[in-house]
Amino acid sequence: MWRKGSDLRAWLFSIMHNLYVNQTIARHAQASVALDEVLELPVPATQEERLVIRELVAALGRLPVEQREVVLLVGLEQVSYQEVAKVLGIPLGTVMSRLSRGRERLRALMSDRTSPPQLKVIK
């Protein structure tokens, strides 16, 4: 609930962000929706790229909620650190810390792949 005297823009942005996250999660739950459509890629991904994107989405899902929020706001939505701090109601240093830990965890999760996805060749 918005409180008089608080930042209306940050409150509205929080609502929009939460709606976006909820809608994206709901779309992922539907098997009939293509991954490219959810990510709104300008050009359909190749099969190998689809596998990498699918692994990235899975890795994002394995991040703690606090880190995932900051990583998505800064990395995907390109929101400034200061705006993220306002929207989430946390100090700027916490934003930077969560972003750093989230990025490092994503790197670790993505590097756990021993090799690039292998596609089966059918002749």
- Per-residue pLDDT reduced to its tens digit, 90-112: 999 999 999 999 999 999 988 87
Q: Which two tokens stand for residue 7?
A: 């930042």
The mean pLDDT value for 51-65 works out to 86
Backbone angles phi, psi at 4, to 5 degrees: -55, 130
Confidence grade of residue 119 (pLDDT, cut at 50, 70, 90)? low
Q: The domain 8-111 is classified under which CATH number: 3.40.50.1370, 1.10.1740.10, 1.10.10.10, 3.50.50.60?
A: 1.10.10.10
Q: Which amino acid is at 2?
A: W
Question: Is the per-residue pLDDT at 54 higher than 90?
Answer: no
Judge contact between 63 and 69, C-beta under 8 A: no
Q: Which two tokens stand for residue 116?
A: 């690039």
pLDDT tens per residue, range 22-38: 776 666 555 444 555 55
pLDDT reported for residue 31: 42
Confidence grade of residue 14 (pLDDT, cut at 50, 70, 90)? confident
Question: Is the per-residue pLDDT at 115 higher than 70?
Answer: no
CA–CA distance, 66 with 87 (Å, rounded to integer): 13
Closest CA to 98 of 77, 58, 57, 68: 68
pTM as predicted: 0.57
Burial class (CB in 10 A: 0-12, 13-18, 19+), 84: buried
Judge contact between 87 and 115, C-beta under 8 A: no
